[in-house]
């Protein structure tokens, strides 16, 4: 299929128009009516074959799905409602039209629950590997965006869901390929692999936190708790006491840690791509937060306390001893030589 035919196909299958989309795919640019009383929040993410994904081990649906989730999760961490998406592609010659449509199917799966409309993009050939870039725009009520910089000493540190599952899932897949014997039930394997392949973003929870001004700061967990907590603390100019015994872990993660001889706390601290929300709550807002969490059936766990900057970032281990929080998170440039 030629480029124009492909774009027309994408428009018919995946393009969405709504009351606020004056013009979507098909013109020189999209025309959208800004939501009254709200500020725009925009995020973009570039995925490069060989750096962020591998077409040998991940399906195109999965690549598209995860690209969308990474962006939706960034908006969730800002407390924003996701609205529109633009998709830019550079396709190598071995990537045919059905492959591209698989990418879009994955993206559409991730966007569907939030009714995010595809309103445009750009298409190019690539001489080396597949490139996929998504730009997602969203909006928040004026002045209500959740920043990384709002945490204050005395605030409580909370996290959604469970930690480390996506990393454990990735390791389970790797071990399966090497055919080593991992004594882990197939149910636990399935849970962890699913968390790696189909992570979930939390835009509705993010909007609840911003809309009711429950959180003072927030970040999404894409690089791992330890590294992302560091970003939040540095931008807020605060320290933190993290409670190792409180870190929420799934039964599957604990089983995996036991069977592989890995420390579950390390998995929880370093595991990337969980896309859970990490946020701080002033003590005066804690009761309302917990009531709302209960009503919506969301798992929220208090995992620490914000301290003055001079305290630094420390973790209280299960014996009650404090030690410095390790600075570990995944950085792509470290391995590619880009400084
Ligand atoms: P231009 O030459 O101005 O870049 P294009 O022919 O690339 O125009 O794009 C025509 C229309 O198709 C635009 O509305 C653009 O947003 C949309 N579009 C192009 N590529 C994609 C894509 N990969 N996914 C979604 N929309 C696309
Ligand atoms: Mg173009």
Pocket test for ligand 1, best of 24, 91, 111, 122 (most atoms within 8 A of CB): 122
d(CA 296, CA 214): 15
Bridging pattern class, strands 131-141 and 277-281: unpaired
Phi then psi for 259, rounded to 5 degrees?
-75, -20
Residue 151 · residue 217 · CB < 8 Å? yes
Any idea which residue has 């209960």 for tokens?
A: 294
| Class of domain 156-324 as given by CATH | alpha beta
**H/E element holding 106?**
helix 97-111
Q: What is the DSSP letter of 198?
A: S
- Tokens coding 197: 């392949």
d(CA 169, CA 312): 32
Specify burial of residue 56 (Cβ count, 10 A radius: 0-12, 13-18, 19+).
Answer: exposed
> What tens-digit pLDDT sequence spans the chain (339 residues)?
678 899 999 999 999 777 799 999 999 999 999 999 999 999 999 999 999 999 998 999 999 999 999 999 999 999 999 999 999 999 999 999 999 999 999 999 999 999 999 999 999 999 999 999 999 999 999 999 999 999 999 999 999 999 999 999 999 998 765 555 688 999 999 999 999 999 999 999 999 999 999 999 999 999 999 999 999 999 999 999 999 999 999 999 999 999 999 999 999 999 999 999 999 999 999 999 999 999 888 899 999 999 999 999 999 998 999 999 987 655 544 444 443
Number of Cβ within a 10 Å radius of residue 183:
8
What residues line ligand 1, using a CB cutoff of 6 Å?
A: 7, 10, 25-28, 87, 89, 120-123
**For residue 120, which ligand has an atom nearest its CA?**
1
| Domain ranges across the chain | 3-141, 156-324
Task: Indicate the length of the chain as a whole number.
Answer: 339
Specify burial of residue 67 (Cβ count, 10 A radius: 0-12, 13-18, 19+).
Answer: buried
Pocket test for ligand 1, best of 7, 31, 107, 135 (most atoms within 8 A of CB): 7
Sheet holding 81-91, edge to edge: 38-48, 131-141, 81-91, 117-125
| Class of domain 3-141 as given by CATH | alpha beta
Instruction: For residue 240, give the 3-state DSSP assignment.
Output: strand
Residue 332 · residue 52 · CB < 8 Å? yes
């Amino acid at each position: 299929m030629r480029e124009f035919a492909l774009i027309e196909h994408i428009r018919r299958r995946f393009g969405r128009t709504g009351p606020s989309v004056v013009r979507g795919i098909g013109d020189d640019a999209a025309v959208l009516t800004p939501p009254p009383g709200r500020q725009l929040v925009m995020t973009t993410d570039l995925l490069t074959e060989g750096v962020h994904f591998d077409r040998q081990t991940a399906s195109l649906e999965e690549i598209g799905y995860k690209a969308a989730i990474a962006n939706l999760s960034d908006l969730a961490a800002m407390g924003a409602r996701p609205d529109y998406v633009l998709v830019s592609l550079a396709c190598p010659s071995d990537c045919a039209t059905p492959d591209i449509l698989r990418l879009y199917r994955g993206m559409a799966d991730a966007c569907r629950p939030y009714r995010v409309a595809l309103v445009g993009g750009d298409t190019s050939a690539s001489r080396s590997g597949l490139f996929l870039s998504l730009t997602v725009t969203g909006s928040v009520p004026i002045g209500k965006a959740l920043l990384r910089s709002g945490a204050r000493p005395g605030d409580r540190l909370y996290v959604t869901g469970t930690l480390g599952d996506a990393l454990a899932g990735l390791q389970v897949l790797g071990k399966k390929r090497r055919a080593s014997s991992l004594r882990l039930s197939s149910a636990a394997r399935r849970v962890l692999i699913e968390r790696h392949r189909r992570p979930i973003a939390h835009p509705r929870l993010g909007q609840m936190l911003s809309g009711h001004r429950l959180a003072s700061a927030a970040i999404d967990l894409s690089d791992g708790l330890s590294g992302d907590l560091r970003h939040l603390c540095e931008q807020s100019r605060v320290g933190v006491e993290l409670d190792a015994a409180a870190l929420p872990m799934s039964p599957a993660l604990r089983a995996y840690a036991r069977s592989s001889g890995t420390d579950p706390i390390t998995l929880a601290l370093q595991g990337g791509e969980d896309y859970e929300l990490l946020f701080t709550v002033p003590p005066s807002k804690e009761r309302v937060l917990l009531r709302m969490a209960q009503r919506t059936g969301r798992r929220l766990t208090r995992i620490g306390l914000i301290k003055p900057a001079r305290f630094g970032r420390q973790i209280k281990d299960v014996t009650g001893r404090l030690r410095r929080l390790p600075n570990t998170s995944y950085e792509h440039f470290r391995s590619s030589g880009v400084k």
